[in-house]
Amino acid sequence: MSRRQLERGTALRGMVSPEGIVPLGADFPPDGSGPDADCDILHLDMDAFFASVEQLRHPETRGRPVVIGGTGPRSVVAAANYAARAKGVHSAMPMAQALRLCPDAAVFPPDGPAYRRVSESVMEILRSVTPLVQPLSLDEAFLDVSGARRRLGGPVRIAARIRERVRQEQGLTCSVGVAATRFTAKLGSTHCKPDGLLLVPTASVRAFLDPLPVGALPGVGDKTERVLARMGLRTVGALARYDADLLRLELGDKAGTRLSELARGIDESPVEPESADKSIGTEETFDEDVSDPETVRRELLRLSEKVGHRLRASGQAGRTVSVKLRRGDFSTVTRSRTLPDATDVGREINAVARELYAASGLVGVPLRLVGVRVEGVLPADRVHRQMALGEEDSGWRDVERVMDRVRERFGPGAIQSAVLAKRDERDV
C-alpha cells in the first residue's frame, strides 16, 4: 500500500494473484468454492483502535490528527491515528516530540475501561460467527470459520459480513486478512490497512511472500535480520530458497526450522480459543524521579488495587506477586513472592508488594517507575482457600467487590481507599 493510500485511508479489497493484487469481483463465488476454498483463517485488526474510539467520543476531532498518551515531561505516545502517523508520529515516541511533529493533534489520555468495553463488543460479533476466536489483544484476533461456511457462506463473504457489522454496530473500521494459515492471514490484514479486506489464496502465497523483507516474518528482530543480511538473505523469497540445514546451523534448530517454514508459507499453528492471561499487572512512570518511600508505597497501593480489580473483572486469581522498580538510569530490579493461596484482593497483593519493596534495597533510592504484577493466574472458581485454624477473614474481598460495583456505576474515580483519598486532598 502506498503512503498516499495510507494518508487518504483508501481501502484495499482484493485478492493476491501471481500477477499482483486484483479486486474482488462481484461474481466472486459466495459459497467459498472459488479461490478461498481452503482459506478458513481470518485475522481481524481494528484500525487505529484507541484513537478511533476517542474520535467516536469526540466527533469534533474528525479529520484531525489524534494521539493517545499522557502530557507529562516523560510521557510517551500510546497510539495515534493515521493522520498523525502520516506526520511521523508513532507509538513509544516521546509525547514532546510527537507534538513538535504534529502541533495540531488532539491528545487524549488512555482510557482502558472504555477501550475494553468496545473490544468486548467487537469480540462478541466475532463469537457470533464462530466459537473459534483467539484474541491477541484488545484490537485484533484470529478466527477459524471452517464451521461457519454452511451457515454464512465462504470465508471472503464472512469477512465482509464481519467488517460491515463492526462498522454498523460500533462505528469503527477494521481490516481483515483471509488465508489458509494464521501467519499469512495476519500479513494480509497488515497489507490492506486501513479499512481493507485481502484474500491470499494458497496458490498465491509464495507470490505474496517472496518480495517481502525478512523482517516481516515473526521472530525476526534486528539482531536476526542482521545475521540474515550477512548471509545475503534480505527477502522472504531468498530465505525460502536457502538450504534449511544451513539455516539451522546459523540460527539453531528451532529458529532455523521455524523461519524456513514460514518463508515457504508453512504454518500449522491452529486458532486457539481465548485462554486466561498468565499474568495481570500494571505500572506507573513518575513525571520526576521519586525517592520518598511513602510516595512509593502509596503508588504500590494504587497499582495493587488496580491489579486486584482487573483480576476480579476477569474472574481470575493468582499466587505470585511481583514488583518492578526502575531507577532513573533505567536499571531495573524485580522481586517476587509466591503465596500459599491464590488471591484477587488488592490489599493482599499490596501487603506483599510493600514487603518486596522494603527488602529490595531501593527504599529511599530515586525511582523512575514502579509496577505490580500477579502471575500464576487461574480461574477464580478453581481457587479453594483453606483458612488456617483461628484465622479470621479480613473481609477485604467483599469490600473491594462493593467498590467495583460503585466504580462500574459512577466511574473509576467515584470511590477509592482512604489513604489515597487523603493524600489526593493534600495534593490539591
Q: What is the pLDDT of residues 2-17, one digit of tens each?
A: 333 333 344 677 888 8
- Mean pLDDT for the chain? 85
- 192 lies in a domain? yes
What CATH number is associated with residue 76? 3.30.70.270
Same domain for 259 and 397: no
The answer to whether residue 274 is catalytic is no
pLDDT of residue 8: 36
Q: Is the pLDDT of residue 322 over 90?
A: yes
CA distance 283 to 304: 10
CA distances in angstroms from 104 to 62, 99, 266, listed in the order given? 13, 8, 45
Q: Where are the beta strands (DSSP E) in 71-111?
A: 77-80, 106-108
pLDDT of residue 377: 86
Report the sign of the C-alpha dihedral through residues 34, 38, 40, 43, in that order.
negative
Same domain for 138 and 76: yes
Q: Do residues 325 and 357 lie in contact, with contact meaning Cβ atoms separated by under 8 Å?
A: yes
What's the grid cell of residue 212? 517481502
pLDDT of residue 398: 64
- 250 lies in a domain? yes
- Please state the domain count of the chain: 3
What CATH number is associated with residue 408? 3.30.1490.100
Which residue has better confidence, 97 or 394? 97
pLDDT of residue 4: 34
Give the dihedral of Cα atoms 187, 176, 2, 168; nearest 10 deg.
-160
Q: Of 54, 140, 305, 348, which is the active-site residue?
A: 140
At residue 11, the 3 state secondary structure works out as: coil
Same domain for 195 and 121: yes
Same domain for 162 and 34: yes
Same domain for 22 and 130: yes
pLDDT of residue 401: 65
CA distance 54 to 194: 17
pLDDT of residue 86: 95
Which residues are annotated as part of the binding site for Mg(2+)?
A: 45, 139
What's the grid cell of residue 78? 500510546
Q: Do residues 31 and 176 lie in contact, with contact meaning Cβ atoms separated by under 8 Å?
A: no
- 21 lies in a domain? yes
pLDDT of residue 387: 40
Q: Domain of 340?
A: 279-380+391-427
Q: What is the mean pLDDT of residues 217-235?
A: 89
- 274 lies in a domain? no
Same domain for 181 and 92: yes
Q: Is the pLDDT of residue 418 over 60?
A: no
* pLDDT band, residue 84 (cuts 50/70/90): very high
Full-model pTM: 0.67
Among the listed residues 124, 140, 133, the one whose alpha carbon sits nearest the alpha carbon of residue 272: 133
